Amino acid sequence: DAGVIQSPRHEVTEMGQEVTLRCKPISGHDYLFWYRQTMMRGLELLIYFNNNVPIDDSGMPEDRFSAKMPNASFSTLKIQPSEPRDSAVYFCASSLNKRGLAGVLSTGELFFGEGSRLTVL
């Protein structure tokens, strides 16, 4: 597998413009996560999906941010309108959660994409 694929790798845009970041998770993984990384705030969880359904979007900063996962192989994170404070590296990650011997699901390794570096001028 090619791993988690994100696009674009770099995006420079002007304040007020719409930005769409894309992610293709590892095939067969049932969880997809969007994280944002900045020097000041580190790695912040924005939202995550299980089997294409959003589970927790409490990390989404405000209504300007939205995320979708229309199918198991594709997700988007959209910012509209963008602002300079949105400048960051946005990581998508996926995982496959495993059932142990006792039948209990446990958290699996997160596989991160290369990230999308967003600069809003």
Partner 1 sequence: GENVEQHPSTLSVQEGDSAVIKCTYSDSASNYFPWYKQELGKRPQLIIDIRSNVGEKKDQRIAVTLNKTAKHFSLHITETQPEDSAVYFCAASQRGRRALTFGSGTRLQVQP
Residues that bind partner 1 (CB under 8 A): 31, 33, 42-43, 45, 48, 50, 55-56, 58, 91, 95, 97, 106-110, 112-115
- What H or E segment, with its residue span, contains residue 55? strand 53-56
Q: Pick the closer one to partner 1 by CB: 82 or 91.
A: 91
**In terms of Cα–Cα distance, which of 8, 19, 13 is closest to 77?**
19
Q: How far is the CB of 73 from partner 1 (least distance, A)?
A: 19
Q: What phi and psi values does residue 75 have, to the nearest 5 degrees?
A: -145, 150
Q: How far is the CB of 42 from partner 1 (least distance, A)?
A: 5
